[in-house]
Amino acid sequence: MGSSVNLFLISLGYRSGGVAPIFTNAPKLKMVLPTPQALTLTNIVIDLAIVAFMLSLVILIYKRYGSLDVRDGRLKG
Amino acid sequence: MNLLLHSPILAIAIPLLCGLATPLISKFGKNVRDLWVTLGLLFTEFLVLILTYDVISNGIRIYTLGAKFPAEVVLTANFVPIRIILELDAFSVVMALTSVSISLIAFIYSLKFIKEGTAKIRYYTLFLLLVAAMVGLVFTGDLFSMFVFLELLSISSAALVAFYFHKGESLEAAFKYIVFSAVGALMVLLAIGLIYGQYGMLNIAALANVLKFSFSDKVALVLLIVAFAMKCGIVPLHMWVSDAYGEAPAPISAVLVVASQASLYVLFRISFTLFGGLPTIGIVAWFIIILGILSMVIGVSMAIIQNDIKRLIAYNAVSQVGYMLLGLGVGLAVIKNVTALNSFGLVAMEGGIFHIINDAIIMSLLFLTAGVIIYKTGTKKMDEMSGLAYEMPFTMVLFLIGALALAGLPPFNGFVSKLLIYESTFRFNPLLAIIAILVSILTLASFVKIFYSAFTGPRLREYNKVRDTPKTMLVAMLILALLTLLFGLFPNMVIDNLISPAAHALINQLKYVGGVL
Amino acid sequence: MVKKKMEEKNKNQGLSKIVKTTFFVIAVPIITFGLYVILHGHLTPGGGFAGGAIIANLTALFLITFGRNTVKKPYKEFLLLLESLALVSLILLAFLGLKSTFFYNFLANTGNIFGRAISYGINSGYLSTAGTISLMNTAVGIEVFAALSLIIIIMYTGPVGGEDN
């Protein structure tokens, strides 16, 4: 789900016929907006951290309970 | 260097720096580390205090990162402010003051509560990052840095919930919490994308100026409200609250309460300032009011049937958030109607904001007391506790203060804020006030349950080996109890100086915009 | 029985000698490319995050080729310290601009280490232009490398009580 939002963000900055928004050595055309690229980059890093954290939790849960079934956990209500 | 001038960013950067440097400083020993973290938190508290004084006397303060001088606002050709701008108004500093104060008190408590070992380095680092994230969330002036601080808040608080990771339940609770937070954050990002695609800017003040309330804006509003409602633990997205608050260490539960309130701040900032000019704002207001009522009723009903002491307090937290929503929702509903606003709308908002502060204090007191009970008896289930009044009379009195304050009895602070909410919502719609009063009675019932099973009754034999409560924990709880009494006996001092400016600042959208443009 | 013991010993010693040699050969281009991406963050796409992730690949390769048990505790401590150091230096760099505001780019447009002024128009990128951005990119790159390596090691060899983030 995170990837779809990232793609959405990048496509927001599109200008028709635009080129990559790099300042040096640029051909004299319209540039694609760079701000959503910054947003997307940050989002990718944050999602990476969250996924890493979730996966470590899952590893620990597996070690503790022996299975990954949600119903086997002791927390309910 | 003018400290006041740079305090907004320092209040965010100092906890961040201290937290990240803690693993390095801990190489020098245990006491150096404790001293370092204490100094960092005290300095942050000092900064927030002088900021509060300044903003309430002098008005809105902004700070631009990376410009030539802090109050400079660089505009492009279309009146779009560039660079990240922090904007502080009265509501922001009141929330920041609450957050940092409660965190400081919880930190004093956790000096002795968390046992020694390498885990404590992790605890302090995450704790300081959490404080930085909370202050950043309430100080920020644009949507994207709000998103970043929201994520930082989610991750550090989830890591703190999973702190005791040899128990299975904390891991499950943290997992549930972070899945909810991640989905909420994705929705926020989608909303930010929608708004940015439409207007090309992300600064809240500038957006408030140009918002046209088209269909995609309304979709963005709904997404934002739902995502932050999830973060506050409002019904029907409350499933993670009982697990997370119940399984976290006791001081962390207290700080989680304040973190949820920081998300509540964002919710109200969006509804009032960003979308305040929406023609159909009444529908949004009624939606908030209905969510508030649902949270109150469902929260307290689930609280009564609980067996575990911290989950009971956690469900009460859900219920109290309903009160805050009710107060501020009533204010939002009458925001266009000037006479009604002046007669009861402002009072409702003041009640709501005062209840935010009071709830932070009372909930922290209750969670810390529950922490002491768990520390001494080693169990969380109320079936297994009995007769603690003989062992810990002091703790019992503190718990009693917290419980009565939450139920809304005079002379405690809960009474004042709840009275403000009752009176104003009665003039708005009598049925809401009646439901609110009934919920208060049920709140009292749930605490009577704890009191009866944990404190009274025959004394169990295994309590002969109970340890003594460390002094720092008692000091922390005592400060909170004193604040409860103080705010209850002299509420005008707080309301006139802190809360009234906050409520006015929330309504006054033009002033917020004028701070930047 | 003897065969089983020998198999286990082989498994913990990692892959064959050829792969280990190739690892050393390929580590050099990876590090160079990663440093290139980090340092040119203000001129070409990439920057701190992407460059750090490239170098963190090296830890994953290391774990695969050398087996689970060759990563000892001091390495983990070193990575933790490196991570904290990099993050602290990032914020201290931001503090140094404090005579104007936070994060102020005090090295741009002066003659100092990264301070050359940007020339407009079409040119190939000059490395020493962007001021504090380059230093911050470097700090972020080191930090990302340390953090991702820690995550990979902890996930592979089991939790020790280190932090997740």
Flag whether residue B295 sits within 8 Å of chain C, measured between CB atoms: no
C165 pLDDT band (50/70/90 cuts)? very low
Would you state the pLDDT for residue C45?
72
- Which member of A12, A36, A53 has the closest CB to residue B158? A53
- With contact defined as beta carbons under 8 Å apart, do B185 and B230 qualify? no
Query: How many structural domains comprise chain B?
Result: 1
More confidently predicted of B389 and B224: B224
Flag whether residue A32 sits within 8 Å of chain B, measured between CB atoms: no
> Positive or negative, the Cα torsion across B226, B232, B236, B241?
positive
- With contact defined as beta carbons under 8 Å apart, do B348 and B327 qualify? yes
What H or E segment, with its residue span, contains residue B485?
helix B471-489
Would you state the pLDDT for residue B171?
80
- Between B140-149, B159-168, B404-413, the lowest mean confidence (pLDDT) is in B159-168
**Cα–Cα distance measured from residue C71 to residue C73, given in angstroms and rounded to the nearest whole number:** 7
Put simply, the answer to whether A56 touches C45 (Cβ < 8 Å) is no
Domain that holds residue B144: 3-514
> Positive or negative, the Cα torsion across B357, B259, B186, B233?
negative
Return the residue matching tokens 């006139």. Answer: B496
Would you state the pLDDT for residue B117?
62
**Cα–Cα distance measured from residue B108 to residue B475, given in angstroms and rounded to the nearest whole number:** 8
Alpha helices (H) in B334-345, listed in sequence order: 338-340
Put simply, the answer to whether B20 touches C88 (Cβ < 8 Å) is yes
- With contact defined as beta carbons under 8 Å apart, do B403 and B447 qualify? yes
Q: Average of pLDDT values for B476-491?
A: 80
Flag whether residue B193 sits within 8 Å of chain A, measured between CB atoms: yes
Which amino acid appears at position C144 of this protein? V
Q: Is the pLDDT of residue B292 over 70?
A: yes
Which amino acid appears at position B333 of this protein? A
- With contact defined as beta carbons under 8 Å apart, do A22 and C44 qualify? yes
Q: Is the pLDDT of residue B234 over 60?
A: yes
- DSSP for B102-166? HHHHHHHHHHHHSPSSTHHHHHHHHHHHHHHHHHHHHHB-BHHHHHHHHHHHHHHHHHHHT-STT
> Positive or negative, the Cα torsion across B253, B256, B261, B264?
negative
Q: For chain B, what is the mean pLDDT?
A: 81
Give the 3-state DSSP-derived string for B325-349, with helices as H, strands as E and coil as C.
HHHHHHHHHCCCCHHHHHHHHHHHH
Q: Which subunits have 3 or more CB–CB pairs within 8 Å of chain C?
A: A, B
| Tens-digit pLDDT profile for residues A16-50 | 444 455 544 445 555 556 666 777 777 777 887 88
B49 pLDDT band (50/70/90 cuts)? confident
B464 pLDDT band (50/70/90 cuts)? low
Residue of B3, B9, B178 for testing the chain C interface, max C β-carbons within 10 Å: B9
Beta bridge partners of A31: A19
- Which member of B1, B24, B69 has the closest CB to residue C88? B24
Would you state the pLDDT for residue A30?
56
Sequence-separated (6 or more) residues with CB below 8 Å from residue B326: B289, B292, B293, B296, B352, B421, B425, B432, B436
| Tens-digit pLDDT profile for residues C80-133 | 777 778 777 777 766 665 544 455 555 554 444 444 445 444 444 455 555 567
Would you state the pLDDT for residue C97?
55
Q: Is the pLDDT of residue B349 over 80?
A: yes
Sequence-separated (6 or more) residues with CB below 8 Å from residue B430: none
Flag whether residue C124 sits within 8 Å of chain A, measured between CB atoms: yes
Return the residue matching tokens 């904007």. Answer: B87
DSSP label of A73? S
Residue B461: count of CB within 10 angstroms of its CB: 7
Put simply, the answer to whether C162 touches B64 (Cβ < 8 Å) is no
Q: What is the token pair recorded at B151? A: 């994520």
**Cα–Cα distance measured from residue B205 to residue B212, given in angstroms and rounded to the nearest whole number:** 14
- Which member of B172, B175, B243 has the closest CB to residue A54? B175
Put simply, the answer to whether B168 touches A65 (Cβ < 8 Å) is yes
Q: Is the pLDDT of residue C4 over 70?
A: no
- With contact defined as beta carbons under 8 Å apart, do B420 and B348 qualify? yes
- Percent of residues, chain C, with pLDDT higher than 70: 56
Would you state the pLDDT for residue C120?
47
More confidently predicted of B388 and B318: B318
| Tens-digit pLDDT profile for residues B31-42 | 888 888 888 888
| Ramachandran angles phi, psi of B202, nearest 5° | -125, 0
Q: Average of pLDDT values for A51-63?
A: 79
- With contact defined as beta carbons under 8 Å apart, do B296 and B325 qualify? no
Residue among B111, B136, B108 nearest B48 (CA): B136
Return the residue matching tokens 């709904």. Answer: B222
**What residues of chain C, 32 to 51, have a C-beta less than 8 Å from chain A?**
43-45, 47, 49
**What residues of chain B, 497 to 516, have a C-beta less than 8 Å from chain C?**
none
- With contact defined as beta carbons under 8 Å apart, do B185 and B137 qualify? no
Query: What pTM was computed for the model?
Result: 0.85
Would you state the pLDDT for residue B68?
58
A-C contacts (CB, under 8 Å): 39
Q: Is the pLDDT of residue C71 over 70?
A: no
| Tens-digit pLDDT profile for residues B72-123 | 565 655 556 667 778 888 888 888 888 998 998 888 888 877 776 667 778 8
